[in-house]
């Protein structure tokens, strides 16, 4: 099957509110009047204080949860429930431990009953994420970075219009994390898939993204959108890079709080 660069995958988030445990003593408003458009093929990252609703927003886009008010659309169609067009990668790889790498990557195609006609897709994405030769390995044989590569391949094998990434590299060591950032960027540039990344790492957001969305404390909304105006590849020690980092940290009110900086860098 010949693949083409995606020409769709635009997300519209329209006045979305999300309240947990409504009308109880434990009521929590996670999102309030959240409005944002993500263009087809765009790479957008979300940063903000812990617990501000970043992951909640991704879950709403994925269809794993529903908004209390407002709506979210993919290419003009309301999102209702989960769908293979919206893939999601979590911080933990969530691989099936009883399945090999190959079978884990193939699960989505098998669930859609299209595996037999598209077997070559499985190997293609295993190779794409650099796991060729590990097809018969089980998750417990893999390092954290390798397991996350397998999880990424599993999501990509369904050819999603939008890939949602919820701190996918947060549990990795610094060197592996940078390797995975390069892999993700390479895949995005090759496939043109719309990507929405939640991260606590400001450097990661600037390095990867077209735009960085800074979210306010809960109940969260868009505090500021930062356009990353310089070309890739990006050197993390360039003055422009360091300047944007400072701006984002100031918005987050962490610029002068050195005890907290290490969590975001």
* Residue 116 belongs to a domain: no
Average pLDDT on 23-43 reads 93
* Residue 249 belongs to a domain: yes
CATH number at residue 248: 3.40.50.300
How far is it, in rounded angstroms, from Cα 79 to Cα 81?
A: 6
Say how far residue 76 (Cα) sits from the centre of its chain. 21
Q: Using DSSP, state whether 90 is helix, strand or coil.
A: coil
Whether the CB-CB separation of 96 and 170 falls below 8 Å is answered with no
* Residue 105 belongs to a domain: no
Please state the pTM of the whole predicted model: 0.90
Write out the residue range of the structural domain in which residue 201 sits. Answer: 11-85+160-264
Q: pLDDT band for 158, please (50, 70, 90 cuts).
A: very high
* Residue 94 belongs to a domain: no
Tally of domains in the chain: 1
pLDDT of residue 262: 40
For 62-107, write each residue's pLDDT tens digit. Answer: 999 999 999 999 999 999 999 999 999 998 888 999 999 999 999 9
* Residue 125 belongs to a domain: no
* Residue 57 belongs to a domain: yes
* Residue 97 belongs to a domain: no
Q: Provide the token pair at 261.
A: 């900086």
* Residue 118 belongs to a domain: no
Return the number of other C-beta atoms located less than 10 Å from residue 198's C-beta. Answer: 24
């Amino acid at each position: 099957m010949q693949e083409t660069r995606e020409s769709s995958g635009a997300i519209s988030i329209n006045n979305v509110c999300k309240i947990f445990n409504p009308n109880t003593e434990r009521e929590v408003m996670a999102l309030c009047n959240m409005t944002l458009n993500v263009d087809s093929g765009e790479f957008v990252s979300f940063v903000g204080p812990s617990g501000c609703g970043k992951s909640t927003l991704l879950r709403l886009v994925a269809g794993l949860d529903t908004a209390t008010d407002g709506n979210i659309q993919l290419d003009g169609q309301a999102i209702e429930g989960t769908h293979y067009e919206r893939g999601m990668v979590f911080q933990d790889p969530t691989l099936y431990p009883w399945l090999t790498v190959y079978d884990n990557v193939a699960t989505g195609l098998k669930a859609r009953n299209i595996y037999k006609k598209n077997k070559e897709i499985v190997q293609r994405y295993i190779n794409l994420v650099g796991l060729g030769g590990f097809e018969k390995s089980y998750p417990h044989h893999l390092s954290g970075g390798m397991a996350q590569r397998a999880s990424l391949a599993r999501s990509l094998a369904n050819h999603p219009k939008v890939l949602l990434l919820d701190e996918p590299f947060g549990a990795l060591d610094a060197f592996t994390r940078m390797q995975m950032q390069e892999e993700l960027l390479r895949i995005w540039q090759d496939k043109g898939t719309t990507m929405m990344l939640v991260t606590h790492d400001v450097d990661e957001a600037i390095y990867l993204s077209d735009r960085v969305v800074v979210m306010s404390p809960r109940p969260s909304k868009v505090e500021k959108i930062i356009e990353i105006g310089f070309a890739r590849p990006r050197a993390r020690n360039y003055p422009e890079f360091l300047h944007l980092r400072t701006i984002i940290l100031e918005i987050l009110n962490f610029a002068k709080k050195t005890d907290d900086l290490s969590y975001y860098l």
